[in-house]
Amino acid sequence: MCIVFLAKNQFPDFPLVVLANRDEFHSRPTQTLNYWKENRNILSGLDLQAGGTWMGINQNGRFAAVTNVRDLKSIRQNTFSRGKLVMDFLLSQESNEDFQTKLLTSKQKFNPYNLLFGTSEKLRVYSNHNDKGIEVGDGIFGISNAYFETPWFKVRRGKEKLKSLIGKELMPESLFEILRDETGAMEKDLPNTGVGMEKEKLLSSIFIKDSVYGTRSSSLLFFTKNKEIRFYERVFSLSGEIVTETIETLSIQT
């Protein structure tokens, strides 16, 4: 997962709305959105190479999503897949605080990441790169491959577009349009994460189109007042065309 936007208590019918793009190598084998065979209470896509997932929910209303922190100097070999963190949270029954304590003890086992985890009522974000965890309050937020709310161009752009929808009827297509934005940053607005300016430019848009590495899927989560979660996923081809679209509705069991 490479960019996530959150709207917490900004739309009357939806306590939490999540928009996310997964950017990955096109050659990496992936299973599209579905209930797990081993645990029918959990709904997510699956990374078939490393066995983890980038974002998912379960029937208790728990949600988690992970993004990598792009810092080439901090990359190490022989670490666990960051997608395991999402799976661990969805399988656990620990409180957010107890789960963060668990993250602190295992932080060296993973390359740099940001993990969003919790429920629509209580949501946290933790990064093992700066070793900080915070409670997410009400508002509109964005996170990409730097720390939570780091104002990269695409994070600012997506947040502005999401804010413009406040007070209007919230439709999935309007949110997918935000995630489909291919506008790149000007050179002066590019971060320097060690990948070179040409690649920084490629990665600076919300939606990345490239024959080797790009946006593989876009996802939406609508947490409703009626204790339902609507999960939308669009999967894209190398050229950015929609290949499949999946919609699932999950009733939260309390």
Please state, as a whole number, how many other Cβ atoms lie within 10 Å of the Cβ of residue 93: 8
- The residue behind tokens 């096109």 is 26
pLDDT at 1 over 80: no
Instruction: Give the pLDDT mean for 40-67.
Output: 97
pLDDT band at 254 (very low <50, low <70, confident <90, very high): confident
Question: Is the distance from CB of 208 to CB of 202 less than 8 angstroms?
Answer: yes
- The residue behind tokens 């700066």 is 130
pLDDT in tens, 71-86: 988 999 999 999 999 9
- Exposed, middle or buried, 132 (CB in 10 Å: 0-12/13-18/19+)? exposed
* Distance in angstroms (rounded) separating the CA atoms of residues 171 and 79: 40
Q: For the chain, which residues make up each domain, given as ranges? A: 3-251
Q: Please give the model's pTM, rounded to 2 decimal places.
A: 0.96
Instruction: Give the pLDDT mean for 3-12.
Output: 98
The superfamily (CATH) of domain 3-251 is: Penicillin V Acylase; Chain A (3.60.60.10)
State the amino acid at position 118 in one-letter form.
Answer: G
Q: Which of 8-12, 69-73, 86-90, 184-188 has the lowest mean pLDDT?
A: 69-73
Instruction: Give the pLDDT mean for 55-72.
Output: 97
Instruction: Give the pLDDT mean for 125-150.
Output: 97
pLDDT band at 210 (very low <50, low <70, confident <90, very high): very high
Q: Which residues contact 215 (CB under 8 A, 6 or more apart)?
A: 2, 21, 22, 23, 179, 207, 208, 209, 236, 240
In this structure, the dihedral spanned by the alpha carbons of residues 104, 108, 84 and 78, taken in order and rounded to 10 degrees, is -170
Q: What is the DSSP letter of 49?
A: T
pLDDT in tens, 219-252: 999 999 999 999 999 999 999 999 999 999 999 9
- Residue 63 is predicted with a pLDDT of 98
Cα–Cα nearest to 16, from 99, 110, 121, 114: 121
Average pLDDT, the chain: 97
Cα–Cα nearest to 230, from 247, 244, 243, 211: 247
Cα–Cα nearest to 33, from 229, 241, 254, 253: 229
